[in-house]
Copies of this chain bind each other. A is one copy, B any other.
């Protein structure tokens, strides 16, 4: 079984992918579209990609790509805490520069303003690249913001621990499959169901009527989000996450009712959700 992921090695997506298989089966891809394409072309059995971050919101490169083709399904979800570490050489006295991915620099902004107000920051391609650069250039006295895993991989010391601004910073990753109905049992029992939904044209209060189909049946929506259909302004599709209980039959009834109202739904999977502490 080959599992593709958004690389490089030791990225947060790598950490998520590591929870479902061991390293020998993991294949890194340089971008989300390349990773998803490899799954579409059956070069890999699963693709692990980030879907949503608690600070930044949905990862559009993933969500839009999954919507705009119709061959991929969700086999499971992994929720990972995003903890950033300041890494450097042991006993580093003066840090002349701090390197990281722009998103990691942004997530650690308050820490940096308080502790390193005058130290230059440099945006690089990945947190892994930053750690590797620091490891290979001890004479430059620079530091990297990267993960715990990167510290171990490159023999760096954690100079400051968990420096991200928000303690609750988490990212959702989806394990995608090209096989309808496939779920990853190692992640647990199916707990969530995700639908893509487009609303009936010219029906006043369409979203309210469609949500009624769920509300009447006490089906809990854990999330609803709109994304542009890429046709014209004001036309959207919706991503709806439903909490699975003993209500699979009720969800099926709601979906049928939405179709009768001339809405369209696409069920992309009932899948387990594993939260990593």
A residues touching B (Cβ–Cβ < 8 Å)?
Answer: 52-57, 60, 79, 166, 168, 170, 172, 204-205, 207-209, 211-212, 214-215, 218, 220-228, 230-236
Contact = CB atoms under 8 A, between A and B. Distances in A.
Residue from A53, A214, A228 whose CB has the most chain B CB atoms within 10 Å: A228
Contacts of A223: 226, 234, 236
Contacts of A54: 228, 230-233, 235
Nearest to A170: B233
Contacts of A215: 204-205, 208-209
A169 to B, nearest CB: 9
B166 A230 contact: yes
Contacts of A228: 52-57
A228 B55 CA distance: 6
Contacts of A205: 211, 214-215, 218, 220-221
A232 B60 contact: no
A79 B211 contact: no
